Amino acid sequence: MELVEITNDKKNWGTFKDSLKAPVHRWFTYPAGFSYKAVQHSIETYKITKGMTVYDPFMGSGTTNLLCKSKGIHSVGVEPHPLVYRITNAKMNWDIDFEEIRSFNMDLNLKFDSKVQKIRSSKNTLNSLFPDLILKCYSEKTLYDLCSIKEVFQESSLSKKSKDFIFTCITALLRDVSSAATGWPYIAPSKVKTSSMGKDALEEYNKLSESMLSDISEIKKSADDSYSETQHKLILGSSTDVSGIIIDNSIDHIFTSPPYLNNFDYSDRTRLELYFWGMAKTWGDITRNVRNKLMTSATTQVLRLDPKFKISDDLYHYCPEVAAFIKSSTDQLTELRKEKKGKKSYDFMVIGYFNDVFKILQESYRVLKSGSSALFVLGDSAPYGVHIPTDELIGKIGVSVGFSEYSIKVLRTRGGKWKTNPQRHSVPLRESIVIFKKG
């Protein structure tokens, strides 16, 4: 294993900062997104050129796929979160009918006042339309306005591409016009957000829609001429099993970032959006429709009686050293859990995480061409103060599924802000890139 510290300018590669300034990338502030510059650097370093194919097994909001498209490179991506998947589809479609979008916008503005009146005077109160969280996050006026935009949108007969575009625009608007602290990643409905005061939902929608359209023109202008000939296979599903969807030895490069082992519940973080669109009404709906489809990375996904939270036979068989480490760390966590108030199932979260990672690495190895590289941007963690060196463990699992070697580049150290907090552990954490080679 080679451990390399990375230079200053690359420290933000694991964050969404750079992407928030880039056309189209910035459409949806996904808290888990990474920098498009990291993808670009990887493509240049590994000499990935036009006509080749890059795979992102944790596609999220599509940073890898978007960058590939703009360079004339084919891509494949897998994402099980239905809301995020739909947004990525919209971001990847540059062949948008500007006229259709603008004519919808005109129609929306014309119908808007009467729609608001109609909803206000109907029997359905806002209480009956939305879960409590939504009611707490908006003033009554804004919520009626958003509701009207949503209804006009849902009643329209637009092409799928335009629908995905407008869906993304309305979704992106939701946190912007909320009167509560709905900044990513946490929602605090009781805190007031001053930056959105006086914002009118329809006006903001109109502005955002126009700026998204000009983003499309901008990205097309700066993209490689061959972008329109590239192919992008975006799969709604789990990368633990892509057999029958992605064929063996078909991928030239992997650039990705799995969920970190830090108890971040991706389904819960998008609760506002899922509730607004009616994709879920309760915690149970979110579990069924989203949470259960994602790989384990949060204690909220753990069911202690479910046998999937036992160390898998594959892990024991192919990488006994890693399995032994996970066993001893999680035994420690099981003991610590007994003393802790929150009784968090970190023990089973860690087991579930590595069981899933094993399958995903096995599949990544299968689909990659010989001589190619796979890069995983990830962070380690220390639940209840027990350090789990995720990068090293993933590196070792990768070698056990066939990769010839791995190296680790440290992007930045994390968690320093909690040094003085006695409630938190003091283990220094890091964000790194694990690099595999298929021999």
Ligand X SMILES: C[S@@+](CC[C@H](N)C(=O)[O-])C[C@H]1O[C@@H](n2cnc3c(N)ncnc32)[C@H](O)[C@@H]1O
- Residues 405 and 252: their CA atoms lie apart, in Å, by 17
Stretch that binds ligand X, among 31-39, 140-148, 207-215, 383-391 (CB under 6 A): 31-39
Q: Does 266 bind ligand X (CB under 6 A)?
A: yes
Query: Which among 25-33, 209-217, 223-231, 412-420 is the span making contact with ligand X, rule CB under 6 A?
Result: 25-33
Count the Cβ atoms, other than its own, within 10 Å of residue 287. Answer: 17
Residues paired with 379 in a beta bridge: 431
- Residue 239, interface with ligand X (CB under 6 A)? yes
Position 354 contacts ligand X (CB under 6 A): no
Q: Which of 43, 52, 68, 84 binds ligand X (CB under 6 A)?
A: 84
Q: Which residues pair with 414 in a beta bridge?
A: 429
Stretch of 93-101, 255-263, 301-309, 420-428 lying at the interface with ligand X (CB under 6 A): 255-263
Kindly write down the DSSP assignment for every residue of 181-221, as one continuous string: E--SS--EEEEE-GGGTT--HHHHHHHHHHHHHHHHHHHHH
90 binds ligand X (CB under 6 A): no
User: In this chain, which of 83, 294, 408, 433 binds ligand X, going by CB under 6 A?
Assistant: 294
Question: Nearest residue to ligand X, using CB?
Answer: 60
Write the burial class of residue 317 (CB in 10 Å: 0-12 exposed, 13-18 middle, 19+ buried). Answer: exposed
Omega before 185 cis (within 30°)? yes
Minimum distance from CB of 153 to ligand X (Å)? 24
Give the closest residue to 362 by CA, choosing from 332, 328, 318, 320: 318
Count residues binding ligand X (CB under 6 A).
23
For ligand X, give the closer residue by CB, 80 or 352: 80
When binding is defined by CB under 6 A, the residue of 53, 61, 162, 171 that contacts ligand X is 61
The DSSP code sequence of 103-115 is HHHHHHHHHHHHH
Q: Which residues pair with 375 in a beta bridge?
A: 255, 435
Cα(151)–Cα(154) distance, rounded to whole angstroms? 5
Is 27 a residue that touches ligand X (CB under 6 A)?
A: no
- Nearest approach, Cβ of 14 to ligand X (angstroms)? 9
- In the complex, the smallest distance separating the C-beta of residue 140 from ligand X, rounded to whole angstroms, is 33
Q: For residues 33 and 72, which CB has a smaller minimum distance to ligand X in the complex? A: 33
Other CB atoms within a 10 A radius of the CB of residue 235 amount to: 17
> CB of 7: closest distance to ligand X in angstroms?
21
Positions that interact with ligand X (CB under 6 A): 30, 32-34, 57-58, 60-61, 63, 78-81, 84, 238-240, 257-259, 266, 294-295
